Amino acid sequence: MKYNHVSFLRSKFRILLAGTVIPFILVAFTGINSESSPGLGIQQQSGAKGWWFGGKIEDFKPGTDSTLFQHGRKCATLESVHDNPADFCTLMQTIMVKEYAGKRVRMTGYIKSQGSDVKGAMWIRVDDFGNKISADFDNMMDRPVTGNSDWQKCEIVFDVPEKAVVALGFILQGTGKIWVDNVSLEVVPDSVNKTAQFLDQPFPEQYIEQLKQHPQEFPEKPAENLDFEE
């Protein structure tokens, strides 16, 4: 499988993630059953505490590895189950941390890859519930980890509005496997350049209607198991 147009990939991933992130937010903060939420039929628990597995799950599988890791005692993995899988898979979680509100944040993580046409990447998406828009987005499709690669440090820098939920994770596309480990989040000065783009994409009407039925003030939800040790 060949990928020649980065701009097409970025557009494609925006569209696909638009259908997965907001339903995850609703489940995380309101307790909606996954069977009743649009798009959640393609997500399941990953085996790593706090992380969900989604996307074209019949073509990929998640796992953990206690023999190969960047830090600690184990890492998480994403792997294709046959050649030329369709679309992509993701390992993800959603967070809301009041400390980040109104701040610029840097996410750092590490990816190791294996496969001739594999693409691995970190991603974030910031949903601004004050303005009901998807704000910052970055899926690293302009700088993915490709081929047979040793551990590479990845960084994404983004802004967090006052009332926002951040979805974050890793993407695998193509035939092969990636190992992911040692994620961290830190507030940085505004002088640090952003890597994320500002989408300014309105929430779909169906999600606005769902939000009307649930509390608008979400509880604090910190990131979980960023080192994949659990």
- One-letter amino acid of 226: L
For position 156, what pLDDT does the model report? 98
- Write the DSSP string, 140-183: -TTS-EESSEEEEEEEEEEE--SSEEEEEEEEEESSSEEEEEEE
For position 205, what pLDDT does the model report? 80
For position 209, what pLDDT does the model report? 76
Phi, psi of 214 (to 5 degrees): -135, 160
- Listed residue (214, 212, 216, 204) closest to 20, CA to CA: 204
For position 159, what pLDDT does the model report? 98
For position 23, what pLDDT does the model report? 54
For position 215, what pLDDT does the model report? 59
Token pair 């995380």 in the structure block, residue: 28
CATH number of this structure's domain 6-212, picked from the four choices 3.30.930.10, 3.40.50.300, 2.30.130.10, 2.60.120.260: 2.60.120.260
Query: Cα separation of 172 and 227, whole Å?
Result: 19
* Domain layout of the chain by residue ranges: 6-212
Task: Give, in order, the Cα–Cα distances in Å from 223 to each of 107, 182, 211.
Answer: 11, 12, 22
Q: Is 153 exposed, middle or buried (0-12, 13-18, 19+ CB in 10 A)?
A: exposed
- Beta-bridged to residue 45, according to DSSP, are 52
Query: Cα separation of 18 and 139, whole Å?
Result: 12
Cα dihedral sign, 173-175-176-177:
positive
- Listed residue (122, 175, 179) closest to 150, CA to CA: 179
For position 24, what pLDDT does the model report? 53
Over the chain (230 residues), what is each successive 10-residue block's mean pLDDT?
A: 40 48 51 35 69 88 91 94 88 91 98 95 91 91 94 98 92 95 98 94 79 70 94
Phi, psi of 77 (to 5 degrees): -135, 155
Let me know: does 90 contact 56? Beta carbons within 8 Å: no
Query: Half-sphere exposure of 92 toward its Cβ, with a 13 Å CA cutoff?
Result: 30
